[in-house]
Amino acid sequence: MGRKRKKNIILKNIELNDAGSLGKALSKVEDQKIIFTKYGVPGDIVDIQVRKKRKSYIEGDIVKFHNYSKKRTEPKCKHFELCGGCSWQNMKYEDQLYYKSKEVANNLERIAKISPEKTLPIIKSDKKYYYRNKMEFSFSNSRWITANEIESDRIIKDKNALGFHKSGMWSKVIDIEKCFLQANISNKIRNYIKNRAIELGLDFFDLKIQKGDIRTLTIRNTTLNEIMVLVQFFKDSKKAQKLLADLKDKFPEISSIMYVINNKKNDTFYDLNVICYSGKDYINEKIGDLNFKISAKSFFQTNSYQTTKLYNIVKKFANLKGDELIYDLYSGTGTISLFLSKYAKKVIGIETVNDAVISAKENAEFNKITNATFIQGDVKKILTEGVKDYINPEIIILDPPRNGLDRSVIDSVVSIKPNKIIYVSCNSSTQARDIEIFKEFYDLKISQSIDMFPQTYHVENVVLLEKKCNE
Protein backbone atom coordinates (compact mmCIF):
# COMPACT_ATOMS: atom_id res chain seq x y z
CA MET A 1 0.00 0.00 0.00
CA GLY A 2 1.15 3.53 -0.75
CA ARG A 3 1.49 6.23 1.83
CA LYS A 4 -1.75 7.70 3.10
CA ARG A 5 -2.21 11.17 1.69
CA LYS A 6 -2.84 13.98 4.12
CA LYS A 7 -6.24 15.57 3.96
CA ASN A 8 -6.39 19.10 2.62
CA ILE A 9 -7.94 20.65 5.73
CA ILE A 10 -9.17 24.25 5.56
CA LEU A 11 -10.24 26.01 8.76
CA LYS A 12 -12.74 28.69 7.78
CA ASN A 13 -13.52 32.12 9.22
CA ILE A 14 -10.84 32.05 11.89
CA GLU A 15 -10.40 35.32 13.77
CA LEU A 16 -6.79 35.92 14.73
CA ASN A 17 -6.77 37.40 18.21
CA ASP A 18 -3.16 37.55 19.38
CA ALA A 19 0.49 37.64 18.34
CA GLY A 20 2.58 34.83 19.75
CA SER A 21 5.95 33.17 19.63
CA LEU A 22 8.32 34.21 16.81
CA GLY A 23 5.87 36.86 15.67
CA LYS A 24 3.19 34.46 14.47
CA ALA A 25 -0.48 35.39 14.75
CA LEU A 26 -2.60 32.95 16.69
CA SER A 27 -6.13 31.93 17.58
CA LYS A 28 -8.00 28.99 19.07
CA VAL A 29 -10.18 26.54 17.14
CA GLU A 30 -13.17 24.63 18.50
CA ASP A 31 -11.18 21.91 20.24
CA GLN A 32 -9.19 24.67 22.01
CA LYS A 33 -6.02 23.94 20.10
CA ILE A 34 -3.92 26.99 19.37
CA ILE A 35 -3.36 27.70 15.71
CA PHE A 36 -0.29 29.61 14.53
CA THR A 37 0.08 31.29 11.17
CA LYS A 38 2.64 33.60 9.56
CA TYR A 39 1.90 37.09 8.25
CA GLY A 40 -1.47 37.40 9.90
CA VAL A 41 -2.36 40.36 12.12
CA PRO A 42 -4.59 40.16 15.21
CA GLY A 43 -8.08 41.13 14.07
CA ASP A 44 -7.84 39.45 10.66
CA ILE A 45 -10.62 36.98 9.81
CA VAL A 46 -9.17 34.31 7.54
CA ASP A 47 -9.31 30.79 6.12
CA ILE A 48 -6.28 28.72 7.09
CA GLN A 49 -4.92 25.62 5.38
CA VAL A 50 -3.52 23.21 7.96
CA ARG A 51 0.15 22.39 7.37
CA LYS A 52 1.04 20.71 10.67
CA LYS A 53 -1.21 19.27 13.36
CA ARG A 54 -0.05 18.33 16.84
CA LYS A 55 -1.76 17.51 20.14
CA SER A 56 -1.73 21.05 21.49
CA TYR A 57 -1.33 23.24 18.41
CA ILE A 58 -1.79 23.61 14.68
CA GLU A 59 0.36 25.42 12.13
CA GLY A 60 -1.12 26.66 8.90
CA ASP A 61 -1.07 29.14 6.05
CA ILE A 62 -3.59 31.85 5.27
CA VAL A 63 -5.36 31.07 1.98
CA LYS A 64 -8.16 33.65 2.10
CA PHE A 65 -8.96 36.91 3.89
CA HIS A 66 -12.58 37.67 4.84
CA ASN A 67 -11.83 40.84 6.82
CA TYR A 68 -8.64 42.79 7.38
CA SER A 69 -7.61 43.93 10.84
CA LYS A 70 -7.64 47.62 11.76
CA LYS A 71 -4.14 46.97 13.11
CA ARG A 72 -2.89 46.31 9.59
CA THR A 73 -0.77 48.61 7.48
CA GLU A 74 0.74 48.27 4.01
CA PRO A 75 4.30 46.85 4.09
CA LYS A 76 6.91 49.10 2.52
CA CYS A 77 9.18 46.35 1.31
CA LYS A 78 8.52 44.43 -1.91
CA HIS A 79 10.36 41.45 -0.40
CA PHE A 80 7.97 41.16 2.55
CA GLU A 81 6.84 37.55 3.16
CA LEU A 82 9.81 36.31 1.10
CA CYS A 83 12.64 37.64 3.22
CA GLY A 84 10.95 37.20 6.59
CA GLY A 85 13.34 39.57 8.32
CA CYS A 86 10.65 42.18 9.06
CA SER A 87 7.73 39.91 9.82
CA TRP A 88 5.68 42.65 11.55
CA GLN A 89 6.01 45.21 8.79
CA ASN A 90 2.30 44.70 8.04
CA MET A 91 1.33 45.79 11.59
CA LYS A 92 0.96 49.39 12.77
CA TYR A 93 3.86 50.46 14.94
CA GLU A 94 1.85 51.23 18.09
CA ASP A 95 0.36 47.73 17.91
CA GLN A 96 3.83 46.24 17.51
CA LEU A 97 4.79 47.91 20.79
CA TYR A 98 1.67 46.56 22.50
CA TYR A 99 2.37 42.95 21.57
CA LYS A 100 6.05 43.21 22.43
CA SER A 101 5.15 44.49 25.91
CA LYS A 102 2.52 41.77 26.27
CA GLU A 103 5.00 39.03 25.39
CA VAL A 104 7.48 40.20 28.04
CA ALA A 105 4.75 40.38 30.70
CA ASN A 106 3.38 36.96 29.73
CA ASN A 107 6.83 35.36 29.90
CA LEU A 108 7.48 36.77 33.37
CA GLU A 109 4.10 35.53 34.63
CA ARG A 110 4.11 32.15 32.85
CA ILE A 111 7.79 31.15 33.03
CA ALA A 112 9.20 33.10 35.99
CA LYS A 113 5.84 32.88 37.79
CA ILE A 114 6.28 36.41 39.09
CA SER A 115 5.24 39.94 38.24
CA PRO A 116 7.52 42.95 38.74
CA GLU A 117 6.58 45.46 41.42
CA LYS A 118 6.64 48.07 38.66
CA THR A 119 6.44 47.76 34.89
CA LEU A 120 7.47 50.86 32.98
CA PRO A 121 6.02 51.62 29.52
CA ILE A 122 8.02 50.31 26.58
CA ILE A 123 10.38 52.87 25.06
CA LYS A 124 9.63 53.26 21.38
CA SER A 125 12.10 53.86 18.60
CA ASP A 126 12.25 57.28 16.98
CA LYS A 127 13.34 55.59 13.77
CA LYS A 128 10.90 53.01 12.43
CA TYR A 129 13.13 52.20 9.43
CA TYR A 130 16.78 52.68 8.46
CA TYR A 131 17.99 52.05 12.01
CA ARG A 132 20.42 49.12 11.71
CA ASN A 133 24.15 49.83 11.72
CA LYS A 134 25.17 46.45 10.37
CA MET A 135 23.81 44.24 7.58
CA GLU A 136 25.18 40.99 6.20
CA PHE A 137 24.38 39.75 2.69
CA SER A 138 25.20 36.54 0.82
CA PHE A 139 26.24 36.05 -2.81
CA SER A 140 24.62 33.07 -4.51
CA ASN A 141 24.48 31.61 -8.02
CA SER A 142 21.09 30.09 -7.20
CA ARG A 143 18.68 32.82 -6.27
CA TRP A 144 15.14 32.22 -5.08
CA ILE A 145 12.81 32.14 -8.09
CA THR A 146 9.44 33.75 -7.37
CA ALA A 147 6.10 32.10 -8.17
CA ASN A 148 5.38 34.80 -10.79
CA GLU A 149 8.66 34.02 -12.55
CA ILE A 150 7.91 30.28 -12.53
CA GLU A 151 4.43 30.83 -13.95
CA SER A 152 5.72 33.09 -16.73
CA ASP A 153 6.89 31.66 -20.04
CA ARG A 154 10.21 33.51 -20.15
CA ILE A 155 13.48 31.66 -19.72
CA ILE A 156 15.23 32.65 -16.50
CA LYS A 157 18.90 33.29 -17.21
CA ASP A 158 19.91 35.58 -14.34
CA LYS A 159 20.24 33.35 -11.29
CA ASN A 160 22.76 35.46 -9.36
CA ALA A 161 21.65 37.01 -6.09
CA LEU A 162 23.04 39.25 -3.39
CA GLY A 163 20.74 39.30 -0.41
CA PHE A 164 19.33 37.22 2.44
CA HIS A 165 18.88 33.47 2.82
CA LYS A 166 15.28 32.36 2.44
CA SER A 167 13.92 31.12 5.74
CA GLY A 168 14.19 27.33 5.94
CA MET A 169 16.12 27.07 2.65
CA TRP A 170 19.83 27.62 3.34
CA SER A 171 20.87 27.11 -0.28
CA LYS A 172 18.51 29.77 -1.69
CA VAL A 173 19.16 33.52 -1.47
CA ILE A 174 16.57 36.22 -2.11
CA ASP A 175 17.97 38.95 -4.32
CA ILE A 176 17.32 42.18 -2.44
CA GLU A 177 16.75 45.36 -4.46
CA LYS A 178 15.98 47.66 -1.54
CA CYS A 179 16.12 46.98 2.19
CA PHE A 180 14.50 49.46 4.59
CA LEU A 181 16.52 48.50 7.66
CA GLN A 182 19.81 50.29 6.97
CA ALA A 183 20.53 53.78 5.62
CA ASN A 184 19.89 53.97 1.89
CA ILE A 185 23.62 54.23 1.10
CA SER A 186 23.71 50.53 1.97
CA ASN A 187 21.33 49.77 -0.91
CA LYS A 188 23.42 51.83 -3.34
CA ILE A 189 26.66 50.10 -2.32
CA ARG A 190 25.15 46.61 -2.39
CA ASN A 191 23.52 47.00 -5.80
CA TYR A 192 26.70 48.49 -7.24
CA ILE A 193 28.85 45.63 -5.92
CA LYS A 194 26.46 43.03 -7.30
CA ASN A 195 26.30 44.56 -10.78
CA ARG A 196 30.03 45.27 -10.95
CA ALA A 197 30.89 41.74 -9.81
CA ILE A 198 28.76 40.34 -12.65
CA GLU A 199 30.41 42.71 -15.16
CA LEU A 200 33.87 41.59 -14.02
CA GLY A 201 32.92 37.91 -14.35
CA LEU A 202 33.23 37.01 -10.68
CA ASP A 203 31.41 33.74 -9.99
CA PHE A 204 28.80 34.07 -7.26
CA PHE A 205 29.14 31.44 -4.56
CA ASP A 206 27.56 28.00 -4.94
CA LEU A 207 26.42 27.08 -1.46
CA LYS A 208 25.92 23.39 -2.25
CA ILE A 209 29.34 22.62 -3.72
CA GLN A 210 31.13 25.39 -1.79
CA LYS A 211 32.78 27.01 -4.79
CA GLY A 212 32.81 30.45 -6.34
CA ASP A 213 34.76 33.70 -6.32
CA ILE A 214 32.74 35.91 -3.98
CA ARG A 215 30.85 34.86 -0.82
CA THR A 216 29.48 37.59 1.46
CA LEU A 217 29.16 41.33 1.94
CA THR A 218 28.98 43.15 5.28
CA ILE A 219 28.12 46.84 5.48
CA ARG A 220 28.45 48.84 8.70
CA ASN A 221 27.52 52.48 9.19
CA THR A 222 27.46 54.82 12.17
CA THR A 223 25.59 57.90 13.33
CA LEU A 224 28.80 59.82 12.53
CA ASN A 225 28.26 58.92 8.84
CA GLU A 226 31.22 56.56 8.68
CA ILE A 227 30.90 53.44 6.54
CA MET A 228 32.77 50.12 6.54
CA VAL A 229 32.43 47.60 3.71
CA LEU A 230 33.82 44.07 4.07
CA VAL A 231 33.79 41.58 1.18
CA GLN A 232 34.53 37.90 1.59
CA PHE A 233 36.16 36.26 -1.41
CA PHE A 234 36.74 32.53 -1.79
CA LYS A 235 40.11 33.28 -3.36
CA ASP A 236 42.12 36.36 -4.25
CA SER A 237 42.30 37.38 -7.90
CA LYS A 238 42.81 40.32 -10.22
CA LYS A 239 39.03 40.49 -10.63
CA ALA A 240 38.55 40.71 -6.86
CA GLN A 241 41.14 43.49 -6.55
CA LYS A 242 39.53 45.34 -9.47
CA LEU A 243 36.14 45.19 -7.74
CA LEU A 244 37.61 46.75 -4.60
CA ALA A 245 39.40 49.44 -6.63
CA ASP A 246 36.20 50.33 -8.50
CA LEU A 247 34.23 50.42 -5.24
CA LYS A 248 36.75 52.87 -3.76
CA ASP A 249 36.47 55.15 -6.81
CA LYS A 250 32.67 54.97 -6.96
CA PHE A 251 32.06 55.66 -3.25
CA PRO A 252 34.74 57.96 -1.82
CA GLU A 253 32.52 58.39 1.26
CA ILE A 254 33.35 54.85 2.39
CA SER A 255 35.67 55.17 5.39
CA SER A 256 36.97 51.61 5.39
CA ILE A 257 37.12 48.91 2.70
CA MET A 258 38.11 45.51 4.06
CA TYR A 259 38.30 42.04 2.60
CA VAL A 260 38.82 38.45 3.69
CA ILE A 261 39.99 35.39 1.78
CA ASN A 262 37.84 32.54 3.07
CA ASN A 263 37.99 29.07 1.53
CA LYS A 264 36.50 27.30 4.55
CA LYS A 265 33.18 25.43 4.66
CA ASN A 266 31.45 28.32 6.44
CA ASP A 267 31.26 32.12 6.25
CA THR A 268 32.65 32.82 9.73
CA PHE A 269 35.76 34.96 9.46
CA TYR A 270 36.59 35.63 13.12
CA ASP A 271 39.50 33.17 12.90
CA LEU A 272 40.78 34.67 9.62
CA ASN A 273 42.95 37.62 8.72
CA VAL A 274 40.99 40.74 7.75
CA ILE A 275 42.86 42.89 5.23
CA CYS A 276 42.37 46.64 5.06
CA TYR A 277 42.23 47.58 1.37
CA SER A 278 41.71 51.31 1.87
CA GLY A 279 40.98 53.80 4.62
CA LYS A 280 41.04 52.95 8.32
CA ASP A 281 40.70 49.46 9.78
CA TYR A 282 37.86 50.69 11.97
CA ILE A 283 34.98 53.16 12.01
CA ASN A 284 33.90 55.50 14.80
CA GLU A 285 30.64 55.58 16.70
CA LYS A 286 29.42 57.82 19.50
CA ILE A 287 27.20 56.63 22.38
CA GLY A 288 26.36 59.36 24.88
CA ASP A 289 29.60 61.31 25.29
CA LEU A 290 31.81 58.29 24.55
CA ASN A 291 33.58 57.44 21.31
CA PHE A 292 34.00 53.84 20.15
CA LYS A 293 36.20 52.22 17.54
CA ILE A 294 34.34 49.47 15.67
CA SER A 295 36.50 46.96 13.83
CA ALA A 296 35.40 44.34 11.31
CA LYS A 297 35.16 41.69 14.05
CA SER A 298 33.61 43.92 16.74
CA PHE A 299 30.22 43.19 18.29
CA PHE A 300 28.19 46.35 18.71
CA GLN A 301 24.55 47.06 19.47
CA THR A 302 22.72 46.89 16.13
CA ASN A 303 20.63 50.02 16.70
CA SER A 304 22.93 52.87 17.68
CA TYR A 305 20.03 55.31 17.93
CA GLN A 306 18.41 53.27 20.74
CA THR A 307 21.59 52.17 22.46
CA THR A 308 21.99 55.37 24.48
CA LYS A 309 18.39 54.96 25.70
CA LEU A 310 19.11 51.34 26.66
CA TYR A 311 22.23 52.22 28.63
CA ASN A 312 20.41 55.07 30.37
CA ILE A 313 17.87 52.51 31.63
CA VAL A 314 20.75 50.48 33.09
CA LYS A 315 22.23 53.61 34.68
CA LYS A 316 18.84 54.60 36.13
CA PHE A 317 18.31 51.14 37.65
CA ALA A 318 21.84 51.16 39.10
CA ASN A 319 21.22 54.54 40.80
CA LEU A 320 24.96 55.03 41.27
CA LYS A 321 26.43 57.19 44.01
CA GLY A 322 30.03 57.04 42.79
CA ASP A 323 31.52 54.56 45.26
CA GLU A 324 30.23 51.29 43.78
CA LEU A 325 32.12 48.30 42.39
CA ILE A 326 30.32 46.85 39.36
CA TYR A 327 30.77 43.53 37.55
CA ASP A 328 29.64 43.62 33.91
CA LEU A 329 29.24 40.00 32.80
CA TYR A 330 29.30 39.21 29.06
CA SER A 331 30.68 42.70 28.60
CA GLY A 332 31.44 42.36 24.87
CA THR A 333 33.38 45.37 23.62
CA GLY A 334 32.80 47.12 26.95
CA THR A 335 30.11 49.57 25.92
CA ILE A 336 27.98 49.25 29.08
CA SER A 337 31.07 49.13 31.31
CA LEU A 338 32.52 52.31 29.84
CA PHE A 339 29.14 54.04 29.84
CA LEU A 340 28.77 53.43 33.60
CA SER A 341 32.40 54.01 34.54
CA LYS A 342 32.12 57.78 35.05
CA TYR A 343 29.37 57.23 37.64
CA ALA A 344 31.01 54.37 39.62
CA LYS A 345 34.22 53.74 41.51
CA LYS A 346 35.26 50.70 39.46
CA VAL A 347 33.81 48.53 36.70
CA ILE A 348 35.08 45.02 35.92
CA GLY A 349 34.03 43.67 32.51
CA ILE A 350 34.21 39.89 32.03
CA GLU A 351 33.95 38.45 28.51
CA THR A 352 34.67 35.10 26.85
CA VAL A 353 35.68 36.37 23.39
CA ASN A 354 39.28 37.62 23.33
CA ASP A 355 38.81 39.97 20.36
CA ALA A 356 35.96 41.70 22.20
CA VAL A 357 38.16 42.20 25.27
CA ILE A 358 40.93 43.68 23.13
CA SER A 359 38.39 46.11 21.63
CA ALA A 360 37.07 47.00 25.10
CA LYS A 361 40.57 47.84 26.34
CA GLU A 362 41.25 49.92 23.23
CA ASN A 363 37.98 51.82 23.70
CA ALA A 364 38.81 52.47 27.37
CA GLU A 365 42.17 53.92 26.36
CA PHE A 366 40.55 55.83 23.48
CA ASN A 367 38.18 57.53 25.97
CA LYS A 368 40.90 57.98 28.64
CA ILE A 369 38.96 55.83 31.12
CA THR A 370 41.12 54.34 33.86
CA ASN A 371 38.55 52.84 36.25
CA ALA A 372 37.33 50.08 33.90
CA THR A 373 39.16 46.75 33.73
CA PHE A 374 38.42 43.96 31.27
CA ILE A 375 39.12 40.26 31.83
CA GLN A 376 38.99 37.54 29.20
CA GLY A 377 37.88 34.07 30.18
CA ASP A 378 35.02 31.78 31.15
CA VAL A 379 32.51 33.80 33.17
CA LYS A 380 31.72 30.93 35.58
CA LYS A 381 35.38 30.19 36.26
CA ILE A 382 36.28 33.83 36.90
CA LEU A 383 33.32 34.31 39.23
CA THR A 384 34.15 31.12 41.14
CA GLU A 385 37.84 31.91 41.55
CA GLY A 386 37.17 35.57 42.29
CA VAL A 387 38.46 38.71 40.68
CA LYS A 388 41.86 39.57 42.11
CA ASP A 389 41.89 42.76 44.19
CA TYR A 390 38.19 43.42 43.54
CA ILE A 391 35.62 41.41 45.47
CA ASN A 392 32.06 41.85 46.65
CA PRO A 393 30.57 44.04 43.90
CA GLU A 394 27.50 46.04 44.86
CA ILE A 395 26.00 45.60 41.40
CA ILE A 396 26.22 42.91 38.72
CA ILE A 397 25.16 43.66 35.14
CA LEU A 398 24.06 40.65 33.07
CA ASP A 399 23.84 40.92 29.28
CA PRO A 400 24.14 37.32 28.04
CA PRO A 401 23.51 35.83 24.58
CA ARG A 402 19.96 34.94 23.52
CA ASN A 403 20.12 31.53 25.20
CA GLY A 404 20.49 33.19 28.60
CA LEU A 405 22.58 32.09 31.59
CA ASP A 406 24.04 28.73 32.53
CA ARG A 407 22.77 27.53 35.88
CA SER A 408 26.34 27.53 37.20
CA VAL A 409 26.66 31.25 36.41
CA ILE A 410 23.39 31.99 38.24
CA ASP A 411 24.64 30.04 41.27
CA SER A 412 27.93 31.96 41.20
CA VAL A 413 26.15 35.32 41.00
CA VAL A 414 23.89 34.37 43.92
CA SER A 415 26.89 33.29 45.99
CA ILE A 416 28.54 36.68 45.46
CA LYS A 417 25.41 38.37 46.88
CA PRO A 418 25.41 41.72 45.07
CA ASN A 419 22.81 44.18 46.31
CA LYS A 420 21.47 44.64 42.77
CA ILE A 421 21.36 42.59 39.59
CA ILE A 422 20.47 44.36 36.35
CA TYR A 423 19.61 41.84 33.65
CA VAL A 424 19.58 43.01 30.02
CA SER A 425 18.13 40.54 27.53
CA CYS A 426 17.09 40.29 23.90
CA ASN A 427 15.11 37.12 24.69
CA SER A 428 12.48 37.60 27.38
CA SER A 429 11.68 33.88 27.60
CA THR A 430 15.22 32.85 28.64
CA GLN A 431 15.40 35.94 30.85
CA ALA A 432 12.19 34.84 32.61
CA ARG A 433 13.56 31.29 32.97
CA ASP A 434 16.63 32.67 34.77
CA ILE A 435 14.60 35.05 36.93
CA GLU A 436 12.56 32.08 38.14
CA ILE A 437 15.78 30.84 39.78
CA PHE A 438 16.94 34.25 41.01
CA LYS A 439 13.59 35.03 42.68
CA GLU A 440 14.36 32.83 45.71
CA PHE A 441 17.05 35.33 46.66
CA TYR A 442 16.07 38.52 44.82
CA ASP A 443 12.93 40.60 44.43
CA LEU A 444 11.89 41.60 40.92
CA LYS A 445 11.53 45.35 41.34
CA ILE A 446 11.22 46.88 37.85
CA SER A 447 10.83 45.72 34.26
CA GLN A 448 11.47 48.06 31.34
CA SER A 449 11.27 47.11 27.67
CA ILE A 450 12.82 49.05 24.83
CA ASP A 451 12.22 48.58 21.13
CA MET A 452 15.58 48.07 19.45
CA PHE A 453 14.15 46.34 16.37
CA PRO A 454 11.05 48.00 14.82
CA GLN A 455 9.12 45.95 12.23
CA THR A 456 10.21 42.72 13.94
CA TYR A 457 8.89 40.76 16.91
CA HIS A 458 12.18 41.10 18.81
CA VAL A 459 12.30 43.23 21.95
CA GLU A 460 14.97 44.13 24.49
CA ASN A 461 14.01 43.97 28.17
CA VAL A 462 15.82 45.20 31.28
CA VAL A 463 14.93 44.12 34.81
CA LEU A 464 16.13 45.26 38.23
CA LEU A 465 16.55 42.56 40.88
CA GLU A 466 17.28 43.57 44.47
CA LYS A 467 18.56 41.30 47.23
CA LYS A 468 15.86 40.18 49.66
CA CYS A 469 16.10 41.76 53.10
CA ASN A 470 16.66 38.40 54.83
CA GLU A 471 19.59 37.55 52.62
Q: What is the pLDDT of residues 368-404, one digit of tens each?
A: 999 999 999 989 888 877 776 678 899 999 999 999 9
Instruction: Flag whether pLDDT at 212 surpasses 50.
Output: yes
Quote the pLDDT of residue 146: 64
Instruction: Flag whether pLDDT at 64 surpasses 90.
Output: yes
Alpha-carbon distances of 188 from 39, 207, 250, 307, 439, rounded to whole Å:
29, 25, 10, 26, 50
Show the domains of the chain with their CATH numbers: 10-72 (2.40.50.140), 94-128+293-467 (3.40.50.150), 134-287 (2.40.50.1070)
Give mean pLDDT, residues 220-247: 97
Per-residue pLDDT band for 1 (boundaries 50, 70, 90) equals very low
Give mean pLDDT, residues 220-238: 97
What's the CA gap between 128 and 49, in Å, rounded? 32
What's the CA gap between 467 and 249, in Å, rounded? 59
Out of 264-278, 307-321, 443-457, pick the least confident.
264-278
Instruction: Flag whether pLDDT at 4 surpasses 70.
Output: no
Quote the pLDDT of residue 158: 78
Give mean pLDDT, residues 147-168: 74
**Catalytic residue of the set 77, 83, 179, 426:** 426
469 is an active site residue: no
Q: Which of 453, 432, 390 is nearest to 89 (CA)?
A: 453
Give the predicted TM-score (pTM) of the model.
0.91
